[in-house]
Chain A
C-alpha cells in the first residue's frame, strides 16, 4: 500500500511513544496461551464423530474452545446444533496472524439455551481459502460472515449474498487485516477526497 513520507515519520513517532519500544503489532503474532485440556461428555462425543479433524480441545479462563480443520467446521456446527442443543450462533469473527502460514483464525461462538453453555469453534485458514458458509445451519451467520468478508477479505463459499456490509462497495482493502494501517488509510482518503496532505 502506498504510504507517504509523513505517515512513516508519524508511525515511528508513535512507536517511540510506546513503552519498552514494543514492535509494531503489524507483524507480531502472540505466542500460545496457557490453556488447559477440556474433557467431558461433549468432547468424547465429538472425538468419536470427528476424530482427528479436531486437533485441540482446550479451556482458558473457564471458557471452552476447540480447533478443527476448515472442512470439518460446518459438519461440527451441524452436529452441535442437532445433537448437542447448541441452537444459537452468537458470533462469527476472525483474527489475523500475518506471520503464520495459515493466516486467519475463524472463530464461531455457540451457545446452548438448554445447557446454558457457550463454546468457541476455531479453525485456521490460509489467505485465499474459501471456507464454507454457515448460513445453511444458522441463518444469523449471513450478516456476520459478510462483516468478516468486509473486514478481513475472507470469502465464504455458498454464501447467498457475499458483499461488503459496513464499508462502501468501492472501498479497497480490508481494514482489520494487520497490514492495514489507520494512518495510511487516513492519508489516502484525505489525498483522494480533499487533494491535500493530511498532516497526520
Chain B
C-alpha cells in the first residue's frame, strides 16, 4: 500500500502559465496549495529574455535608443526618456525647454496609456469585460497622437539623446487638448463601473496587502508603494525633465491592498491630465535639440539615473569607457523587482486571488525578462 493517497495529501503543486491568459504574457507561477489556499509560490521567468544589456555593449549610444522601447512595450516612451536622460547626464548636456515640455506631455500620455492597459486587463481578469473595451477605446486616441507625432504607436522611439528628432505636428496641441477634455469624464465612467461595484470591491479589498515597510524591504516602488501610504514619487523627490514646474498631487492609499492600488492609479491618470494641460499652457518655443556631438563619446565615468515610470522606479546604470559604445548598461526594471513581492502577497490567499495579485502588480514581461 502506498504511504500516502491523494485523499490525505495536504500539499498540491499546481502550474499556472506561461500560457495562462491572466499572467499577462509569459509568466509561469508554480503554486503550492493546501486545498484552495496558497502556501507558497515560485515564479519562473525569462521566457522573453533578449539580453538587451548585452546588446547595449555592442551598439553605439544612439543605436541603443530603440531597443529600450522593447522592454516595457506598454510604456515605451518612459523607457526612452530614462535612457536619454542618463546618457545626457553622462555627456553633460540638457535638452532645451521645448523638448523637455514635449517629453513631459508624451511621457504622461504614455503613463495614461499604460494605466489604461493595466485597468482594462486587470478588470478582465477579475471578470468585468466592459472596462477593457472602454480603456482600449481611449488608449487608441493616445496611440493615434503618438502615430501622428513619430509614426509609431507602441515602440515609438520618440526621443533622441539631447532632445527630440521631430518638431510637433500641426494640430498636436489641439489633439492633446481634445484628448484631455474627452478623457476626464471617461475616468469618471470607469469609476462608475468599478469603484462601488460589489464584486470588484469584494475581489480586491484586503487582497495582496503590502505594508509600507514590506514595500521598502522588497524594493517595491510605484503605485504599490504609494498605495501603502508612502508619498513618494521620483517626479517630486528628484525632479527631472522640468517636472518641478508643474503642480500635481501624489495620490496615496491607506491599506496597501489591491483596491487602494486601483484608486491610486485612477487618481494618477487624472493627475497626468493635469500635468499635460500645464505643459501645454506653458509650452515654450525654441530649439528641440541640445548641443550633442555628432559622435556620442561620453567621458570615462558612470551614472545612475532613474525616473518614475508608470510601474515604479526605472533606472539606468551606465558605465562609459570613453568610447562610442557603452561599457555596461544596467536596467533597473520596476516590474522585475515588484514581481518578487508576489510570493509575499499571495501566501495565505486563494488561487483566484493570485490572478488579482498578478494583475495588481502591473507587470510587463518584456521588462521583467529584458
Q: Which residues of A contact B (CB under 8 A)?
A: 18-19, 22, 25, 28-35, 60-61, 63, 87-91, 93, 95-96, 107, 109, 113, 116, 118, 120, 138-140, 142-144, 147, 151, 164-168, 175-176, 178, 180, 182
Contacts and interface: CB of A to CB of B under 8 A. Distances in A.
B306 A35 contact: no
Interface in B214-251: 216-220, 230, 232, 237-238
A168 to B, nearest CB: 7
Contact of B315 (A91, A143, A167): A91
Contacts of A19: 295, 324
Given A32-B300, A88-B216, A140-B337, A176 B321 contact: no
A25 B321 contact: yes
Given A25-B325, A176-B54, 14 more contacts: A25-B321, A28-B321, A30-B300, A33-B300, A35-B301, A91-B317, A96-B328, A113-B216, A138-B219, A140-B219, A143-B340, A151-B53, A165-B45, A182-B51
A9 to B, nearest CB: 17
A140 B217 contact: yes
Contacts of A63: 303-304
**Secondary structure of the B side of the interface?**
mixed
Q: A-B pairs with the 10 shortest C-beta distances?
A: A30-B321, A140-B219, A166-B46, A33-B301, A93-B330, A91-B332, A166-B49, A143-B340, A33-B300, A95-B328
B219 A113 contact: no
A65 B369 CA distance: 28
A188 to B, nearest CB: 14
Nearest to B313: A90
A48 B299 CA distance: 33
A5 B233 CA distance: 52
Interface residues of B, number: 48
B278 to A, nearest CB: 23
Interface of B: 45-46, 49, 51, 53-55, 57-58, 89-90, 92, 216-220, 230, 232, 237-238, 295, 299-304, 306, 313, 315, 317, 319-325, 327-328, 330, 332, 336-337, 340, 369-370
B327 A25 contact: yes
A193 to B, nearest CB: 16
Contact of A113 (B230, B317, B337): B230
Contacts of A89: 219
Nearest to A142: B340
B54 A175 contact: yes
A17 B369 CA distance: 30
Contacts, number: 116
B46 A167 contact: yes
A39 B65 CA distance: 35
Given A90-B315, A95-B328, A144-B337, A25 B323 contact: yes
B261 to A, nearest CB: 19
A138 B299 contact: no
A176 B300 contact: no
Chain A interface mostly helix, strand, loop or mixed? Answer: loop
A22 B57 CA distance: 13
Contact of B336 (A87, A143, A176): A143
A128 B178 CA distance: 60
A113 B304 contact: no
A165 B47 CA distance: 10
Contacts of B325: 22, 25
Contacts of B217: 87, 138-140
27 contacts: A19-B295, A22-B325, A25-B323, A30-B300, A35-B301, A61-B89, A61-B301, A91-B315, A95-B328, A107-B317, A107-B330, A109-B304, A109-B315, A109-B332, A113-B232, A120-B304, A138-B217, A138-B219, A140-B219, A151-B53, A164-B46, A165-B45, A165-B46, A166-B369, A176-B54, A176-B328, A182-B54
Contacts of B220: 140
A95 B219 contact: no
B115 to A, nearest CB: 23
A65 to B, nearest CB: 8
Nearest to B301: A33
Given A19-B324, A143-B340, A116 B238 contact: yes
B47 to A, nearest CB: 9
A114 to B, nearest CB: 11
Contact of B299 (A34, A107, A118, A167): A34
A31 B322 contact: yes
Contacts of A30: 300, 319-322, 327
Given A91-B330, A140-B219, A25 B46 contact: no
A87 B332 contact: no
A138 B306 CA distance: 20
A167 B49 contact: yes
B323 A22 contact: yes
Nearest to A113: B232
